[in-house]
Copies of this chain bind each other. A is one copy, B any other.
Amino acid sequence: MLKIGIIGFGRIGKVHAWSIQTRVENACVLRICDPFMNPAMEAEAQKLGIQRWGTDAGELIHDPDIDAVLICSSTHTHAALSIEAAQAGKHIFCEKPVDPDPKRITEVIAAVEKAGVHFQVGFNRRFDHNFKALRQAVEQGKVGDPHFITVLSRDPEAPSLDYVKVSGGMFMDMTIHDFDMVRYLSGSEVSEVYAVGDALVNPQIKELGDIDSAQITLRFENGAIGCISNSRRAAYGYDQRAEVFGSRGSAATQNDTPSTLILSDEQGIQQEKPLYFFLERYMQSFADEIASFTESIVENKPTAVNGRDGLIPVLMAKAALKSMREHRPVTMAEIKQEEGVEHV
């Protein structure tokens, strides 16, 4: 039984704790910590059968009974905690992004490699049943050579302006999942990025220097063309779809819905809206990513989303931002050089 410690017991930390305790075999949560630990959190931990808790991440990391840590704390702590955990010989699951600074991510990668521990980044959507089926279809050659990779990703509600201020910008906060997705689906690396963006949902977001709507054109090393379309607000809910079109055809996913009910009346033929938001849509994928992480440790095989997979989407977000600001296509080579990570 793999013993896990969770650093950060906010929304996503709780999701992982619940998943592990109820849906992941061969692993259990032994300890949690959160700088804002409080009685409600303690009660929740107890209910989940977690017996140790505290406020100190270092104590958790150095708890000799802990085999692996899940880093679910604030983004700015991810890299330092990852390095500390690696040095302590713990396996690491780190929420995305590992760090907004690509160079810092390379330091994490180096520490992980030196320590020889397993390291996985929290791009959970790779474990969604729909995107997994799409990836499998591509891998099995069902669409032939990929020509177009299209990801449509729209949130049901724009975030609060307070959130926008600390989000790191839409590309780093929201699109980063889609940057990972196009790499996952295409099986190829992006060579160039062209981004347009605007605040079409809420003009106040523009005043904060951010955007809420974007469309990103990608070129891949294998020649394929990519498109990511983002909106912070779809009136009908969380819209998460993708298509890979190639020489032999197209594979595309639809949204999941609460039920398959079709209501036909004088108004028309009506289906349900998509599942509300990421917690509803991706709940099973959160469990599956952790199961994959623990399996990679137990069976000593590479993690499904490694350090490099954590790094490249951050570089893509930087390329998109630069492209939008400078109103021109930006190559990944240019960004890598700029960030001092040419050799990734």
Chain A residues proximal to chain B, CB less than 8 Å: 21-23, 25, 47, 129-130, 132-134, 137, 142-145, 147-148, 150, 154, 194, 196, 198, 200-201, 213-215, 217, 219, 223-225, 227, 229, 231, 233-236, 239, 245, 247-256, 258-273, 327-329
Contact = CB atoms under 8 A, between A and B. Distances in A.
Nearest to A144: B235
Contacts of A223: 198, 200
Contact of A249 (B245, B248, B266): B266
A231 to B, nearest CB: 6
A343 to B, nearest CB: 26
Given A227-B229, A265-B248, A259 B133 contact: yes
B270 A268 contact: yes
Given A137-B263, A215-B217, A231-B245, 18 more contacts: A129-B258, A133-B261, A137-B261, A144-B235, A147-B231, A148-B215, A214-B225, A217-B217, A234-B249, A235-B264, A236-B264, A239-B250, A249-B266, A250-B263, A251-B264, A253-B262, A266-B273, A269-B272
A196 B215 contact: no
Contact of A259 (B129, B196, B328): B129
A133 B258 contact: yes
B247 A235 contact: yes
B259 A130 contact: yes
Nearest to A222: B200
Contact of A261 (B130, B150, B267, B272): B130
A130 B260 CA distance: 6
A262 B266 contact: no
A101 B267 CA distance: 42
Main secondary structure of the interface of A (DSSP, over half): mixed
21 contacts: A129-B259, A130-B259, A133-B261, A133-B272, A134-B261, A142-B265, A144-B235, A150-B229, A198-B223, A200-B223, A200-B225, A234-B249, A234-B250, A234-B264, A235-B265, A248-B266, A250-B265, A263-B268, A268-B272, A270-B271, A328-B328
B148 A229 contact: yes
A196 B201 CA distance: 27
A265 B252 contact: no
Nearest to A225: B215
Contacts of A255: 260
